[in-house]
Amino acid sequence: MDTPLTVPDLADATELSCDVLVIGGGTAGTMAALTAAERGADVLLLEKAHVRHSGALAMGMDGVNNAVVPGRAEPDDYVAEITRANDGLVDQSTVRRTATRGFAMVRRLESYGVKFEKDEHGEYAVRQVHRSGSYVLPMPEGKDVKKVLYRQLRRREMRERIRIENRVMPVRVLTHPEDGRAVGAAGFHTRTGEFVVVRAGAVVLATGPCGRLGLPASGYLYGTYENPTNAGDGYAMAYHAGAALTGIECFQINPLIKDYNGPACAYVANPFGGYQVNRHGERFVESDYWSGQMMAEFAAELASDRGPVYLKLSHLPEETIGAVESILHTTERPTRGTFHENRGHDYRTHDIEMHISEIGLCGGHSASGVRVDDRARTTVPRLYAAGDLASVPHNYMIGAFVFGDLAGEDASRYRAYEGELDREQLAAAHELVYRPLRNPDGPPQPQVEYKLRRFVNDYVAPPKTGAKLSLAVEAFDRMSAEIAGMGARTAHELMRCAEVSFIRDCAEMAARASLARTESRWGLYHERLDHPERDDTGWLHHLDLRKSPSGAMEFTARPVEPYVVPVPEFSPPGGPERLLGEVALVPVATAGARDAVPAAPAPRPAAVDAPAGVPATAPPHPRLLGLLSLVEDSPDLDALGPYLADADPAVRAAAVTALGETAPAGAGPVLAGRLRDEAAPVRAAAAAALRELVEVLPAEPALAEGLREALGVPDPAVRAAALDVLRALRLGAAGLYAGALADPSVEVRVQAVRALVSVDAAGELARAAADPAREVRVAVARGLAAVRAPAPEPLAPLLDDPDPLVRGAALAALAGTGCPPAYAAGAGAALGDRAWQVRSGAATALRAAPPGLAVPALAGALADPNADVRKAAVLSLLAHRAEPAARAALAGAADDADADVRAYAARAAR
């Protein structure tokens, strides 16, 4: 059972030392450790779980996707294939390393005991999945690969060189404060919670992809396509160590089985004769490599009326299906057979419904990762990256082994660092690990992580837009504080909290990088709706990101290195790197941009303060408890009377609120009387209660008298409320309301205009057209169209008002008052006004104008740059759709860029 932890002292850290520190005990990390040890280095292998069953490889592997076996494929062909699959954005020297060293790695693994399928003559049974090459090599016993590797690690000669520390999770790479080289790492034990510091001559990051980035359709945090322990640890550690990352905008998105977090395994099924079909049984995949472009085709088919999409196996013979089952239900996912069985599905009678995975970051299956050269070296001296963490496009398992081998080989040259470790870096790592212990009751990790990854789905997952990505950046910035406030009590919870910080870092990288690349590339992986075309002229460049000295995330456009294998479709432009700096966010204000900024409203007088001697925040009165208890019994006025007359304004305010909640007989006049209370909180409570109860209060004379008396209260909020209730209950007359037009408060005068409309006092309304406040004049314009007998003439002074909002409101009012020819001419001229509000009002006015004058003007307004103006024009044209010219204009608006305009224009055809 986990025991509560306390924050350990930094001085009590456990210190370890090694020549080569390998972080991550999966595919690449295991190979890096083995190679470095074979080269004579003392190796420390840190794994946050247990190396025996850690990493994606521990779940089994059905085959090798990129085996370049001599006689079956050529390295240069493979390099060209990957270049095309990644839309030309590759460092071919790294891809060629996998192509040229992959077969030797197959033989090395075979010497360890890993089995690859061979034919009757002992030749490797390479199968063809892609149309241009044969690279898939099945592994009949792939479920045992990790067991074989662990056995190799535990050989006596390896044990002498490789120290394995399971359950230790690094959180930061430590660097030398002067030259920036990697000199170790800091982390903690995920069972005991002890702080661990490592000195090293070189550091190899092999922590796998960021598979826990997007949220699966199931909503289950760990139901991801990739191994859910891969939370982007290495991405974050490399970034904070100063290393460059690249291609982070190129997401990993995979086809999977619907409702099951496992791959559909086309790489297994296709060589046996399976293929992808839509619901009509038609093959639809045009792309020649499982890439972002193929995923775009897959997504389009899935979203069309030809979906769902299936992996078709039912046409295969029994023996073939049996062979597929033996791989898919054991090596790839042991639970897969149970999943199908529980649904009553059999490959012989049912094809496999497919869907799309959540997004992730992965070099091995797309292109996003830590930038490395052809020796696995990052841009930080003595820091290496290998496997799915490194940006070597479509590197897969063999590539992970190859680059783990390269990293171990190069890193083995260095010996343990013996200097002082930077105390500031150690303190920062210590704080990152243990801050949840200082706030044990803070939000739990699952809650915060769910919210974070839901934002990833909402704003970062393709198809992308600048606006959504900008919202994502804002959300991730906000969540930094929430993540810092997470609570934990055990070491395991500390591990999960640290992982959330890594996920947040990766999410921000993904959003900012996607914003920076202003084109679409890699099909679904980076589909920008606001930049839909691929731009090889400007963007056949790697997009690198790094942490600037100021702590900001900055970007560089790095030219693609000259190809070692020519690919006719792409011509890298070369040239120098372009420093892009920090990415600019796209404005996402919901109000949108204005054509012109209207004049600011006149300042309103401040509310009258409470009388002297009334405390702003008086201490609670003991009688409040009695009042609260009384309210439960729905008291009458007699029971509430003592509280309403209490000397404490807090008690009186509470009594007024209780009166509003219970509404006993006679409540209206009492509430109106409280509008004249000396305490502002009591008056505010009375005004709120009156407005809330206005539909149930009897329109009795006593209430009317109390409301009229309240019109003399200095508090403008009270006067406005009194007018509002008088109007609603029909307790006032035109003269009373007209008198309020001289009130010093704009809010009161607006309420007076509304009250005058309620009694159809058009004459009094017209006299308010000269009010100094824009809000009042706008209310007058709207009110003149709302009276029972509206006429356009009273609007005349407002149509020439200097304020565009008033002119717009007056023009729009003509649609209600009628728009005779003289006014229609003015509305037509107003369609050329600089303010879109005026143009919108003019288009609305023409709804009531004679068709011969209105339709030509409205047809021209359909080209207005403002969508609201076009929408107003369409709505007015609908009123004239009996005219052929109006119908023709509406037909032309059917493909407008604005959804509302299109939708309303379509009504003309009904």
pLDDT in tens, 421-451: 999 999 999 999 999 999 999 999 999 999 9
Q: Which long-range contacts (CB under 8 A, 24 or more apart) does 735-743 make?
A: 736/708, 736/711, 737/761, 737/764, 738/764, 738/767, 740/711, 741/767, 741/768, 741/771, 743/716, 743/719
Q: How far is the C-alpha of 785 from the C-alpha of 809, rounded, in Å?
A: 10
- Mean pLDDT, the chain, whole residue set: 89
The predicted structure's pLDDT at residue 610: 44
pLDDT, one tens digit per residue, over 824-856 is 999 999 999 999 999 999 999 999 999 999 999
Q: Give the model's pLDDT for residue 68.
A: 85
Instruction: Quick: pLDDT tens for 610-638.
Output: 444 444 444 556 777 777 777 656 688 88
Structure tokens at 225: 């396509």
What is the predicted pLDDT for the residue at 607? 46
| C-alpha span between 553 and 584 (Å, rounded) | 11
Residue 281 has pLDDT above 50, yes or no: yes
Question: Does the pLDDT at position 1 exceed 70?
Answer: no
Least confidently predicted of 87-96, 298-307, 315-324: 315-324
Tens of pLDDT, residues 152-209: 998 888 989 999 999 999 999 999 999 999 999 999 999 999 999 999 999 999 999 9
Flag whether pLDDT at 899 surpasses 80.
Answer: no
- Token couple for 876: 């007015």
Mean pLDDT of 748-766: 94
Would you say residue 499 has pLDDT above 70?
yes
The pLDDT of residue 628 is 72
Q: How many CB atoms lie within 10 A of CB 159?
A: 12
Query: 10 Å Cβ neighbour count for 1?
Result: 3
Which amino acid would we find at residue 220?
A: Y
For residue 688, give the DSSP letter: H
pTM of the model: 0.74
pLDDT over 70, % of the chain? 92
**The total number of residues written for the chain in this structure:** 910
Query: HSE on the CB side for 228, CA within 13 Å?
Result: 12
Q: What local confidence, expressed as pLDDT, does residue 147 receive?
A: 82
Over residues 737-751, the mean pLDDT reads 95
**How far apart, in whole angstroms, are the C-alpha atoms of residue 507 and residue 502?**
9
Helix (H, G, I), strand (E, B) or coil at 136: strand
